[in-house]
């Protein structure tokens, strides 16, 4: 199975009606969608999501932010999906992100950053497990996978 990652299109992106424009970046890259939920993330779930940051000065703020409004939570799959999706997102905050990235094109905030993406296979497994049961991950082949992921050998 190819690598998987969790991506969250966060409350600020939802409120700014950017879901389609942001998600199309991942689709345009050829990353395969295997699960999706539009949901209100509870404060308890946000605390679990950001548990590695417990006790840090920004912890309470990010918990409030993630649970403040609905979000689109998805699992994407491809070889190297974590690195590719993080490059698509850009640096953490829009005021520092390069043009051409999601955060660089749509973000200016130093506090809200539009999207989340897992930073390692270990965090992806943990985060996917927070939001999805294994039977919610749909396995299928993309019809154009050879053209997307093929090699010219």
- What are the tens digits of pLDDT across the range 70-87? 999 999 999 999 999 999
Residue 101 lies in a domain: yes
Residue 78 lies in a domain: yes
The count of domains in the chain is 1
Which position among 85, 116, 117, 124 bears the catalytic label?
116
Any idea which residue has 């590695």 for tokens?
A: 52
| Catalytic residue flag (residue 53) | no
Residue-level pLDDT, tens digit, the chain, 153 residues: 799 999 999 999 999 999 999 999 999 999 999 999 999 999 999 999 999 999 999 999 999 999 999 999 999 999 999 999 999 999 999 999 999 999 999 999 888 999 999 999 999 999 999 999 999 999 999 988 888 888 676
Give pLDDT tens digits for 132-144. 999 999 999 998 8
List the CATH number of the domain containing 12.
3.30.70.141
Residue 142 lies in a domain: no
**Domain that includes residue 21, residue range:** 4-130
pTM for the predicted model, two decimal places: 0.94
Q: List CB contacts of 81: < 8 A, sequence separation 6 or more.
A: 2, 3, 4, 5, 31
């Amino acid at each position: 199975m190819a690598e998987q990652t969790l991506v969250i299109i966060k409350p600020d992106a939802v409120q700014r009606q950017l879901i389609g424009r942001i998600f199309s970046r991942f689709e345009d890259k050829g990353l395969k969608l295997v699960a999706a939920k539009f949901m209100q993330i509870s404060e308890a779930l946000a605390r679990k999501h950001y548990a590695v940051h417990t006790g840090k000065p920004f912890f309470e703020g990010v918990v409030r932010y993630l649970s403040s409004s609905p979000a689109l939570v998805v699992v994407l799959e491809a070889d190297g999906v974590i690195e590719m999706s993080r490059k698509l997102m850009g640096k953490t905050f829009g005021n520092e992100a390069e043009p051409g990235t999601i955060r660089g094109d749509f973000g200016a905030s130093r506090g809200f950053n539009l999207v989340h993406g897992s930073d390692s296979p270990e965090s992806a497994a943990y985060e996917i497990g927070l939001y999805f049961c294994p039977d919610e991950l749909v396995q299928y082949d993309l019809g154009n996978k050879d053209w997307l992921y093929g090699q010219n050998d």
